[in-house]
């Protein structure tokens, strides 16, 4: 076999190894429920296993079924072999990391909440009797006005839409809900987000300014805790999956989000969590509920110690960013706010 032929077989082997490694990574993703490595998501691990096995078999089948002559001729030397294998490994890993980052179509919402502009940010308002929800979520007859209100912040990298099920449910139960955009990650600028939302709600004609609570997810939860500590107008706090401690999440982040989002998340939280220092800023004398998903791999190692003195609950089977959409967490949060602020 001539030199170019050895390169050819090396490249063909690389192509086959690419498929084989990508297949193996899909099986790994299904086994460890790694969203950031799975081409099909991990909602249905069986599909992921099936894809992995198919890729493996197809790639092996193609190479060994069609390249008989080259396989049984002198091939690349050990170092060249390692190079081609390394090339395939890098390409397969890049594919598995990048594809889950592609934007996917989100479901079409049945409600059309109104967009509001605030000082230094934007938000989405869910009101029990606002015109935007008319026809979908009629106000319950006899609901007293003014109402209790919630100012909410989504997680880092998650849009305001991620809080739509929770906000809609709260609105159905009579709360006015303002979901803010996490529009800045600059410290201390982001400290102004919740106060601007709370000020907006307090001035809203439908809202009772004495019954305002805040809710946050992930970094938004840390920010909610920190903001509540300095704002007496905030009467209750629900923190869904707060970060609380700076950690080096490593591979665990792939269980929660796609790779690129994970890189941004770890870079941003590394600085912001220590600056927010929410662990040292739990609001004194006001109720605070901390909620984590049982499958959240980014939660503090010792959640009980981290949440000392606060109410804490764990919703089994939920992850960091699936928690706000989980019916159990939605129900717990709504009931708790109803208890603390009244409906």
Residues that bind another protein (CB under 8 A): 13, 16-17, 20-21, 24-25, 27-28, 31-32, 34, 60, 63-64, 71-75, 78, 81, 85, 89, 248-254, 259, 262-263, 266
CB of 97 or CB of 292, closer to another protein: 97
Structure-token match 């106000």, residue found: 139
Burial zone of 334 (CB within 10 Å; 0-12 exposed, 13-18 middle, 19+ buried): buried
Minimum distance of another protein from residue 259's CB (angstroms): 7
Residue 340 to residues 107, 126, 215, 234, 257: CA-CA distances in angstroms? 32, 20, 13, 11, 33
For 115-124, b/e burial (b = at least 16 CB within 10 A) is ebebeebebb
CB of 175 or CB of 259, closer to another protein: 259
Minimum distance of another protein from residue 308's CB (angstroms): 23
List of residues 6+ apart from 64 with CB closer than 8 A: 71
The token duo for 136 is 């979908």
List of residues 6+ apart from 86 with CB closer than 8 A: none
- Which residues partner with 153 through β-bridges? 216
CB of 78 or CB of 108, closer to another protein: 78
DSSP notation for 202-226: HHSTTEEEEEEEEEEETHHHHHHHH
Minimum distance of another protein from residue 7's CB (angstroms): 15
Distance from C-alpha of 282 to C-alpha of 34, rounded to nearest angstrom: 32
Minimum distance of another protein from residue 17's CB (angstroms): 6
CB of 25 or CB of 148, closer to another protein: 25
Minimum distance of another protein from residue 20's CB (angstroms): 6
CB of 207 or CB of 253, closer to another protein: 253
CB of 35 or CB of 166, closer to another protein: 35
List of residues 6+ apart from 102 with CB closer than 8 A: none
CB of 28 or CB of 91, closer to another protein: 28
Minimum distance of another protein from residue 246's CB (angstroms): 13
Minimum distance of another protein from residue 72's CB (angstroms): 5
């Amino acid at each position: 076999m001539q030199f170019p032929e050895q390169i050819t077989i090396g490249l063909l082997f690389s192509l086959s190894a690419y498929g084989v490694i990508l297949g193996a990574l899909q099986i790994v993703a299904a086994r460890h429920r790694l969203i950031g490595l799975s081409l099909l998501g991990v909602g249905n691990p069986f599909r992921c296993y099936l894809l992995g096995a198919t890729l493996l078999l197809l790639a092996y089948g193609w190479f060994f079924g069609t390249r008989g002559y080259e396989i049984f001729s002198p091939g690349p030397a050990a170092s060249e072999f390692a190079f081609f294998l390394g090339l395939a490994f890098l390409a397969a890993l890049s594919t598995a990391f990048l594809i889950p980052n592609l934007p996917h179509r989100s479901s079409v919402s049945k409600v059309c909440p109104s967009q509001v502009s605030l000082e230094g940010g934007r938000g989405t308002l869910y009101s029990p009797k606002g015109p935007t929800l008319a026809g979908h979520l009629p106000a319950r007859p006899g609901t007293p006005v003014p109402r209790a209100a919630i100012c909410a912040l989504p997680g880092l990298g998650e849009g305001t839409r991620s809080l739509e099920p929770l906000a809609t449910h709260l609105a159905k139960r009579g709360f006015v809900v303002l979901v803010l955009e996490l529009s800045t990650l600059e410290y201390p600028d982001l400290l102004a987000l919740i106060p601007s939302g709370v000020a907006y709600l307090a001035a809203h004609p439908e809202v009772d300014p004495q019954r305002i609570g805040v809710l946050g997810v992930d970094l938004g939860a840390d920010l909610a805790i920190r903001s509540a500590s300095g704002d007496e107008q905030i009467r209750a706090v629900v923190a869904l999956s707060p970060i609380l401690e700076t950690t080096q999440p490593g591979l665990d982040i792939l269980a929660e989000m796609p790779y690129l989002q994970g890189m941004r998340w770890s870079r941003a939280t590394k600085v912001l969590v220590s600056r927010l220092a929410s662990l040292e800023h739990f609001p004194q004398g006001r109720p605070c509920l901390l909620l984590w998903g049982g499958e959240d791999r980014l939660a503090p190692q010792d959640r009980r110690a981290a949440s000392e003195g606060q109410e804490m609950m764990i919703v089994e089977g939920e992850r960091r960013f699936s928690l706000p959409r989980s019916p159990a967490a939605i129900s717990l949060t709504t009931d708790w706010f109803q208890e603390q602020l009244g409906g």
